[in-house]
Structure 1
Amino acid sequence: MRASAFVYPWDVNGDPEAPARIAGLGVAQVTLASAYHSTRALTPRHPRHRVVTAEYAAVLYPPGPRWSGRMLRPYPAGDWAPGDAFGEAADALARAGLEVHTWVVLAHNSRLGAEHPDTSVVNAYGDRYPWAPCIAQPATRAYLVDLAVEAAVRPGARGTELESLGWYGLAHLHAHDKTGGVGLGDAGQYLMSLCFCPACRDGYGEQGLDPEELAGGVRAALEPVWRGAPSDGGWAGVEKLLGAERADGTRAWRDATARSLQEAAVRAVREAAPEGFRVLLHADPVSYHCGANAGVDPGHILGVADGVVVPCTGGAGLVVPFAREAREGAVIAANFTVVSGMGGSPGTLAEDAGEARRLGATELRLYHAGLASDGDLDAVRVGLRRC
């Protein structure tokens, strides 16, 4: 199975040994971040630093002239990835014999929400989620499509992997997070992720729902949850809390909104890319799920993109819905965390990859070559040889 390792430019730039080290893992490809959200990352082998703090969501290359005069535009990175950090790292990795694909984070941007609060998801209580741009708003959609094109089709890249190309919601790996005190479950997370910005209120109206009545219904449905009642049960749990008609109306609006954005972004990337350029989405096969792995309909997305990257660290079961819908040549990449300190299991990579392949995966993704310890990387080398 073809394997690719995720990498940040700061893992490579300034470390002359990094490209050969990554190639030595046995991967054929790297998925190199070109647009990324804020983060704090360890660099356990870098000769110049041990911690990199990316203070805000940024592009890791100089943004182009298409953004001139626009209100919504990407931010160039600070000193954690100066200049064309992506291009510098891509060149070094390519010289080591690795095929470079871009890693593009889209609808996840806290600085955008802080500076332009009207772009953010607004829940039924009126709370804004600055990390979550609302993908229903026309200006935000135009920004995301253009960002996908520019950040995906970088010089030398042979493909792209688009992350968070869909709805983002309440769940967020936020610094000093204090939101776990109530177990919201799958259904509660959905209700707390419904957006009530003006664009979404209009969208609910198109589904025959009164947005004020709907917001009140969401608050009423969640009241027992705040007191400790369970809110799990998948979509049936959402219907139980909100009522089937209202639940289905919200999902119809949100599914259609996400699908049309995904179609527009993939189409625009393909129009700008050279022949043979692969476009994959980080995806979850449950369309109402939110987050970095955007909820999708497997049959639809595999008719739009060249494939998907599927989270598999807790097991490869999410591969199955995509494998059932895959056309010939579709990529279904099983994504495994190989950083033991982040819950990964690099020592069982060969077995995990074998199970993913049995379930229908065609490729592997390894998260993350820059964050992993030396021991984790040794285990990856062994595991890939066994594969």
Structure 2
Amino acid sequence: MRTSTFVYPWDVVGDPDAPARIADLGVRQVTLAAAYHSTRALTPRHPRHRIVTAEHAAVLYPPDAARWAGREPRPYPAGDWAPGDAYRAAAEALAGAGLDVHSWVVLAHNSRLGAERPDTSVVNAYGDRYPWAPCVARPDVAAYLTELAAEAGVRPGTGGTELESCGWYGFGHLHAHDKTAGVALGDAAQYLMSLCFCTVCREGYAALGADPDEVAAGVRRSLEPVWATGSQESGWPAVEKLLGADLAALVDAWRGGVARGFQEAAVAAVRAEAPPGFQVLLHADPASYRVGANTGVDPAHILGVADGVVLPCGGGAAPAMLGPFADHRTGTSVLAANFGVVSGMGGGPATLADDAVRAAELGATELRLYHAGLASDADLAAVRAALSQLGG
């Protein structure tokens, strides 16, 4: 199977040994961040630094001033964590080591945008804004993210793109000094906490025949027992149990239509910008109601729109992730199984060979490894051994 590892530009720029080290793992491709959210990242082998702090969501190349003239929102340029055209410098160095380069583009995840433009954010049923989560139902947000997908996805020297957060974002978020675990929330309760009630979403519910105030009140009523005892219930039946089947169907109809339309527009924008043969994948989850980096999709729909998906398969999730796509894939569909290989972040590099074989049996056509820049030397050695065992 074709194998790619995720990398940040700052893992490569300024480290002349990085491209060969990555190529020596046995991967054929690198998925290189071109637009990324704020983060604090370890660089355990870089000759000039050990910690990189990306202070806000940014593009890691110079945005085209003419493209964005007069437009709001617009992408934020990076600071000193990715100066100049860091993406291009890293891509050229990696290509020089014989690696194919695809871009990695984070879309609906941008805390600076939400802080500076609160009107762009998801608003929950209690009226709380999620500044990290742009609402993709808002026309200005969708237009901005679609244009960003095209510009950031199709960079010089790039043969394809992977779009992360290409859909709804919501409650779940890795946040500094987080204090949200006091009440257990399964994915059903997290979904209810992710439902948006901004002005556009309220209009959407109304267009389907519902009073948006009553919808929000229904969500709050459904969550009352959860605040008392917590809930670990997961799955769409659990959502229907909490919210009621009729109300669950209504919000799903609105959000599903928005997500599918946004995904179609983002992929179309990339393809309009890209040369023939340019691969477009989405980081995805086959449960269409799920939100976040691996956004929920309708498997039948998305395999008719994009060239394929990248699926989180670690921790025994491969059957649940890969299975729903089996009946809808064509001979050219890409199902990339993504495995964490950073032990300190819960990854399993020691079991990678077995995990990859199992994923292939379930229909995976490619592998993704998260993340060569963050992994320890021991983790990288385990990856190298696994890929050697698999034949590359």
Please give the range of the TM-score, normalised by the shorter of the 2 chains: over 0.9
Task: Point out 4+ residue stretches in structure 1 off by more than 2 angstroms.
Answer: none
Query: In the alignment, what sits opposite 2:31?
Result: 31
Q: SS at 2:326's partner residue?
A: helix
| CA distance in 2 between partners of 1:379 and 1:288 (Å) | 35
What letter matches 2:119 in structure 1?
D
- Aligned-residue sequence identity (percent) comes to 72
| 1:354 and 2:357 aligned | yes
Task: Describe the SS at the equivalent of 1:181.
Answer: coil
Distance 1:181 1:381, change over 3 A: same
Deviation at 1:232, TM superposition (A): 1.0
The secondary structure found in structure 1 opposite 2:45 is coil
How much does 1:208 deviate? 1.5
SS in 2 for 1:149: helix
- SS of the residue corresponding to residue 56 of structure 2 reads coil
Partner of 1:165: 166
Asked if 2 retains the 8 angstrom alpha-carbon contact of 1:346 and 1:376, the reply is yes
Partner SS, residue 327 of structure 2: helix
Q: 8 Å contact 2:336–2:367 — kept in the other structure? A: yes
* Equivalent residues of 2:146, 2:269 under 8 A apart: yes
Partner of 1:110: 111
Per-residue deviation, residues 363-386 of structure 1 (Å, max 9, x unmatched): 000000000000000000000011
Q: Distance in 1 between matches of 2:280 and 2:202?
A: 32
Structure 2, gaps ≥5 residues long: none
Deviation at residue 323 of structure 1 after TM alignment: 2.4
Task: For residue 229 of structure 1, report the CA deviation from its aligned partner.
Answer: 4.8
1:285 is matched with which residue? 286
Match of 2:345 in 1: 342
Q: State which of 325, 343, 346 in structure 1 corresponds to 2:328.
A: 325
CA deviation vs aligned residue, 1:16-35 (integer Å, no higher than 9, x gap):
00000000000000000000
Matched AA of 1:381: R
What is the TM-score normalised by the length of structure 2?
0.98
Using the alignment, how far apart are the partners of 2:257 and 2:50 within structure 1?
Answer: 43
1:113 and 1:132 in contact (8 A); partners too? yes
State the partner residue of 2:264: 263
Q: Following the alignment from structure 1 to structure 2, what is the Cα–Cα distance between the partners of residues 166 and 106?
A: 8
Which residue number corresponds to residue 95 of structure 2?
94
In structure 1, what is the equivalent of residue 198 of structure 2?
197
Q: Kindly indicate whether residue 190 of structure 2 is the aligned counterpart of residue 208 of structure 1.
A: no
Alignment match, 2:75: 74
The 5 Å alignment of 1:365-384 reads: 365-384=368-387
Structure 1 residue 322: deviation in Å?
Answer: 1.5
What per-residue deviation string (whole Å, max 9, x for no partner) do you get for residues 313-357 of structure 1? 112121111223111110000000000000011011100000000
Q: Residue 225 of structure 1 aligns with which residue?
A: 226
* Equivalent residue, structure 1, for 2:146: 145
Under a length normalisation based on structure 1, what TM-score does the superposition of the two structures give? 0.99
Distance in 2, Cα, partners of 1:299 & 1:53 = 39
- Alpha-carbon displacement from aligned partner over 1:253-301 (angstroms, at most 9, x marks no partner): 0001000000011011101101110000000000000000010011100
Match of 2:187 in 1: 186
Unaligned stretches of 5+ residues in structure 1: none
How far, CA to CA, are the matches of 1:95 and 1:240 in structure 2?
A: 55
Separation in structure 1 between the aligned mates of residue 118 and residue 8 of structure 2, nearest angstrom:
28
Distance 2:252 2:92 in 1: 43
Local SS of the residue matching 1:227? helix
Aligned to 2:344, the other structure's residue is in SS state helix
Q: Is the 8 A contact 2:185 2:230 kept in 1?
A: no
The 5 Å alignment of 1:297-316 reads 297-315=298-316, 316=318
- Following superposition, the deviation at residue 206 of structure 1 comes to 1.6
The aligned counterpart of 2:57 is 57
More displaced, 240-249 or 15-24?
240-249
**Structure-1 separation of matches of 2:140 and 2:97:** 40
Range with bigger deviation, 238-247 or 228-237: 228-237
> What are the residue-to-residue correspondences of 1:2-13 with 2, within 5 Å?
2-13=2-13
- What CA distance in whole angstroms lies between the structure 2 residues aligned with 1:230 and 1:56? 33
2:328 partner amino acid: E
Match of 1:274 in 2: 275
Q: Is it true that 1:15 corresponds to 2:15 in the alignment? A: yes
- Matches of 2:208 and 2:181, distance apart in 1: 32
What amino acid is the match of 2:359?
A
In the TM superposition, what whole-angstrom CA distance separates every residue of 1:116-159 from its partner, at most 9, and x where no partner exists? 00000000000000000000000000000000000000001000
Shift of 1:186: 1.6
Aligned length: 387
Pairing partner for 1:363 from 362, 366, 374: 366
Distance 1:97 1:323 in 2: 32
User: For structure 1, which segment, 178-187 or 349-358, has the greater mean C-alpha deviation from structure 2 after superposition?
Assistant: 178-187
Compute the RMSD of aligned alpha carbons.
Answer: 0.8
